[in-house]
Structure 1
Amino acid sequence: MEFNIVDKLLAITSLGSEWVLWLLLALSVISLGVIVERLIFYARIRLDFVNFSREVTRRLIDNDIDGIKGMCSTSASIESQTILRGLEYKERGVDAMEQSMTGFLFGEKQKLDHGLVILGTLGSNAPFIGLFGTVIGIIQAFSDLATNPAGGPSVVMAGISEALIATAVGLIVAIPAVIAFNGFQRVVRRKLSNAEAMKNLVIAHFSE
């Protein structure tokens, strides 16, 4: 018996494109979940950095280390926690302070990036998944025409219009994911830059 790969692939298209729509729906739920979780997380570590850095600078000039500790301990922001981590190693010298803050920032970067790979992947691939569903639908439409020639072009047009829905849904899933991914990436870069600035400010104060 001769193996015909085309016939095997055509058999797959008989499943239709509806399962692709269900897949895209599931991916949209995942994307929305990640977006909401990230919004809550970034809101929790939000900080008025301009006023915060100004106050930290003033207290460093006044050598009010206890005041800085008290101010930073009330905030969950990465900037304030970076300062606290450095001050914990104050007695061990500037090098220990710098290394402790650098290590802390590496760990915090993973927390800041959590879930963003999902948004990036969905934003890049959801349109292709939708296009795949459209191609399957178009193949199925022409297959229906071949088995029912009397139906005429209306059979094909109806099938193609249904198939194009998959591409539209793919774009609907991808666009918010891309927007959120780019926005969150900007937040991550800004938070890490701010924390790095605070690290340098503290190190400069305690350097001889």
Structure 2
Amino acid sequence: MEQAALGAVSEVSLWSLFMQAGIVVKLVMLGLLSASVWTWAIVIDKAVTFRKIRKQLDNFEQVFWSGQSLEELYRSLSERPAAGMSAIFVAAMREWKKSFERGARSPIGLQMRIDRAMDVTLSRESEYLEGRLGSLATIGSAAPFVGLFGTVVGIMTSFQSIAGSKTTNLAVVAPGIAEALLATAIGLVAAIPAVIAYNKLSGDAGKLTSRMEGFADEFSAILSRQIDEKLQSSRPGQAAQ
């Protein structure tokens, strides 16, 4: 009897614990493992995306401040899909050209339309940067409690084994306790990286958004000056005075 008990204890491994677990605990473990895989998929995708966007922002700023005319830059960027600062620039220039083609007369109204176009584009770019980060927050907050649920079920299994065998022998209670601890461990494995990744990626997304907001403000000031100059030059009577 003791040899059988020792043999049962020696066979306790991660795989054997999973296979011996009840259907509820198995579902909990599989769900947490799936959440962990999804977390790392998001982390890798966001890391690659953010690196690509940083490079795009650096390249655009280099070209924008190189002295190239706004018209030439607009023509080159409007011919292909734009993102980040390029999208904000194209949206502002498109509104600029449409307004003057229709004979804009109010500098305040034109400036408001341009700012609105940039705000809408900036909001869209910000939503793209923050996409799927909510999943990390959900996993980080919910995974420990899901693991705790598996722990409770595992402990209940141990008590049922004790009641059925009418003994507190370690060989009887060990599988249930180990099963419970494994569910807790998997919950932490899923939650901890999700919380760390969410904080890091949220900060990176905020920094990228701040860079685009800064460019939008600077470009708005540049267009404001040009609007004043263009509208004044279109009023020869006032210019002569």
Query: TM (normalized to structure 1)?
Result: 0.79
Q: Which residue of 2 aligns with 1:45?
A: 53
Structure 2 residues without counterparts, runs of 5 or longer: 1-20, 100-109, 226-241
Partner Cα distance (1:29, 1:14) in 2: 23
Which stretch of the first structure deviates more once superposed, 101-110 or 32-41? 32-41
Partner Cα distance (2:31, 2:90) in 1: 45
Partner Cα distance (2:199, 2:158) in 1: 38
Q: 1:68 Cα shift?
A: 3.7
Which stretch of the first structure deviates more once superposed, 149-158 or 168-177? 149-158
- Residue pairs, 1:60-71, within 5 angstroms: 64-69=69-74
Query: TM (normalized to structure 2)?
Result: 0.69
Does residue 137 (structure 1) correspond to residue 154 (structure 2)? The answer is yes
CA contact (8 A) 1:16 1:140 kept: no
Partner Cα distance (2:85, 2:189) in 1: 36
Q: Which residue of 2 aligns with 1:83?
A: 89
Aligned residues: 193
Q: Which residue of 1 aligns with 2:13?
A: none
Q: 1:72 Cα shift?
A: 5.3
Partner Cα distance (2:82, 2:93) in 1: 16
2:213 is aligned, of 172, 196, 206, to 196
Q: 1:20 Cα shift?
A: 1.2
Partner Cα distance (1:190, 1:51) in 2: 17
CA contact (8 A) 2:32 2:187 kept: yes
Q: 1:34 Cα shift?
A: 2.5
CA contact (8 A) 1:112 1:188 kept: yes
Runs of 4+ in 1 over 6 A off after TM superposition: none
Cα deviation 1:145-193 (Å, max 9, x = unaligned): 0110235244223321221011111111112211221122112211211
Structure with larger Rg: 2
Does residue 29 (structure 1) correspond to residue 37 (structure 2)? The answer is yes
Partner Cα distance (1:104, 1:16) in 2: 46
Partner Cα distance (1:201, 1:95) in 2: 15
Which stretch of the first structure deviates more once superposed, 68-77 or 83-92? 68-77
Partner Cα distance (1:133, 1:183) in 2: 29
Which secondary structure does the structure 2 equivalent of 1:45 belong to? helix
Partner Cα distance (2:77, 2:114) in 1: 16
Q: Which residue of 1 aligns with 2:144?
A: 127
Structure 1 residues without counterparts, runs of 5 or longer: 1-12
Q: Which residue of 2 aligns with 1:56?
A: 64
CA contact (8 A) 1:79 1:191 kept: no
1:150 is aligned, of 167, 171, 189, to 167
2:28 is aligned, of 20, 23, 42, to 20
CA contact (8 A) 1:24 1:126 kept: yes
| RMSD of aligned alpha carbons | 2.6
Specify whether residues 26 and 179 from structure 1 end up closer, same or farther in structure 2 by C-alpha distance, changes over 3 A only.
same
Q: Which residue of 2 aligns with 1:175?
A: 192
CA contact (8 A) 2:54 2:208 kept: no
Tell me the amino acid that sits aligned with residue 216 of structure 2.
K
